[in-house]
A and B are shown apart, each in its own frame.
Chain A
Amino acid sequence: MVSDQKIGNTFGIDNRVFNSKIVEKEGNRLVLNVGPQHPGSGHFRLVVTIDGDTIVDIKPDPGYVHRGAEKMAEHRTYIQNIPHLERPVIIDSSNILFSYVLACEQILDITPPERGEYIRILMSELNRIISHTYWLSIYGIFLGHSTMFMWPMGDRELFIDLAQSIGGTRVTFSYFIPGGVRNDIPDDFKEKALKTFSYFDKRLVEYEKIFFNNPLVLQRTKGIGILKKQDAINLGITGPNLRASGVNSDTRKDEPYSKYDTIDFDIPVLKEGDCHSRAKIHLEEMRQSLNIMRQVLDIIPEGPVKHIFRGQMKGEPGEAFSRTEAARGTMFYHIISDGEINPYRVKISVPSFRNLIAMKHLLIGKHIADMPPIYWGLDYWPVEADKCSSWKLLNSF
């Protein structure tokens, strides 16, 4: 049996020495280091103790790309924080900013124009698909399904093109600002978008046929890594993982923020709580995102897209918090202002950090071959959990 002390030492907590051994033998048991070299999504280490091929203990070790985004945010103005704070999850960059700008608007006491609100929803749902397709391709390749790597990664480009036509860059758009969005959408956006949406509708059916209903994939994911409803609630699980365990909670419906209350859409919920359900939820969410965007394109009003500022944004002393539904779950910001041009404190709570706790809960007692579907099924994004940000940005303003 590996003692806690031993594992503690592996983390270098007591002696501050990084234990670089890849495998340690303890009687019949082996202690394996999975990562921290990019096990697929970002730098993250799992210290896995196995007996035969059964996992007997697991210790997640996040933090390899932690760069103190919260501290750095205290040294930037509300606007400068926009390119900074979207870095932790560049594949979902609009959604990580959504709750930040909503909280800023409370501090600065401004309201975005209606058109700006609808464009935010559009961009947020585009980002949800960009993030889910990225996740699906990585999930596919880790289950040994190369086609499922290539198809979503290819189709993702179409959505990146759409987002680029609005935001100007491929992934980090810095598009949401307090008071609206940076610029209007192009005139031909609706036509191009509807074409892409109808193509992607057909592709989702093909994804189901080749991957989700594939007997080999089902064998590896159905009934594996079951997260019960009560456990999911107690552990603080959020997003698609929570909804796959039978909890009908989605911030877009619960709160509802922005203009989501004017749109008719469903929240996919499944009861099984296994890897297959977690994957299915992502698929259904992409369908719902297409549905939301189609409605937005129909009802979006004409008018300005942002509140124009004169001078520096400066809030009254006070605080604000806001939550939105990002691709992986609830994104939350708590901002404290002391009346200066910089926030006094920015607290970020990201969904991957909250979902990390499920890993230990689900992996112990499973076979080592069940690790990829469980790890990837959770859609854990280490960079998001670590609240990574670009170090270069530190001195760039």
Chain B
Amino acid sequence: MTNSLMEKDLSDNLKKTLGPKLKVIESTERRIKIETTPENILEVATSIKKLGFDQVMSNGGTDYPDKKIFRLDYHIISVNVKKLRRTVLQLTTHIPKDNATINTLITVFPSASYHEQETHENLGIVFEGHPRMERLLLPEDWDDIPPLLKEFKLPGR
């Protein structure tokens, strides 16, 4: 259990299937980190699902105003396949801020639904193909910029 062989096998498998579509791939014990381009995210997610990963545990974005990009992370786990349960897979991509749209992953992982909605309202990223790109947690009279953008300042700060 103390080695990272299984994670290495999984990442080698992904590398073989997806080839240059994966930009970065790193595996340590219980963790796999992969990075892809926004255009390939759906295909990469489908390959991840085929390996046995079945739930999106979290989806969050980070604003980098200097680089004018959003970093988008999905954390994907498996609850059904016993040997995969110990692993968390981080799927990362970077989206340009001036065209913040990306394919939704809910066709592959329905569990991403609310998470994507939350990322949409917090950062303004549009998930194409998501049936409910609307407010979820923010108040309906919110008329400011999305709050997790770095240019949004907290009152008094």
Contact = CB atoms under 8 A, between A and B. Distances in A.
Nearest to B60: A347
A62 B121 CA distance: 13
Given A68-B147, A347-B60, A357-B114, A63 B79 contact: no
Contacts of A386: 137
A8 B154 CA distance: 29
In this complex, which of B80, B90, B152, B155 has the most chain A Cβ atoms within 10 angstroms of its Cβ? Answer: B80
Interface in A251-302: 253-255
Contacts of B68: none
A13 B58 contact: no
Given A233-B54, A347-B58, A394 B110 contact: no
Interface residues of A, number: 44
Interface in B108-146: 109-115, 118, 122, 134-141, 143
In this complex, which of B73, B75, B111, B134 has the most chain A Cβ atoms within 10 angstroms of its Cβ? Answer: B111
Contacts of A75: 154, 157
Contacts of A220: none
A395 B109 CA distance: 39
B23 interface: no
B88 A323 contact: yes
Nearest to A230: B80
Given A242-B79, A323-B57, A347 B154 contact: no
B111 A254 contact: no
A318 to B, nearest CB: 12
B85 to A, nearest CB: 4
Interface stretch (A113-121, A137-145, A149-157, A329-337): A329-337
Interface in A331-386: 332, 334, 336, 344-345, 347, 349, 353-354, 356-357, 386
Given A63-B137, A75-B157, A236 B55 contact: yes
**Chain B interface size range:** 35 or more
Contacts of A68: 147
Contacts of B109: 236
A72 B140 contact: no
A336 B79 contact: no
B140 A11 contact: yes
B69 interface: no
B4 to A, nearest CB: 14
Given A349-B57, A354-B57, 12 more contacts: A11-B140, A13-B134, A63-B137, A75-B157, A233-B55, A242-B79, A247-B79, A255-B86, A332-B75, A345-B60, A347-B62, A386-B137
8 contacts: A16-B141, A234-B110, A253-B85, A255-B30, A345-B60, A353-B114, A354-B114, A394-B155
Interface of A: 8, 11-13, 16, 18, 62-63, 66, 68, 70-72, 75, 233-236, 238, 242, 247-249, 253-255, 321, 323, 330, 332, 334, 336, 344-345, 347, 349, 353-354, 356-357, 386-387, 394-395
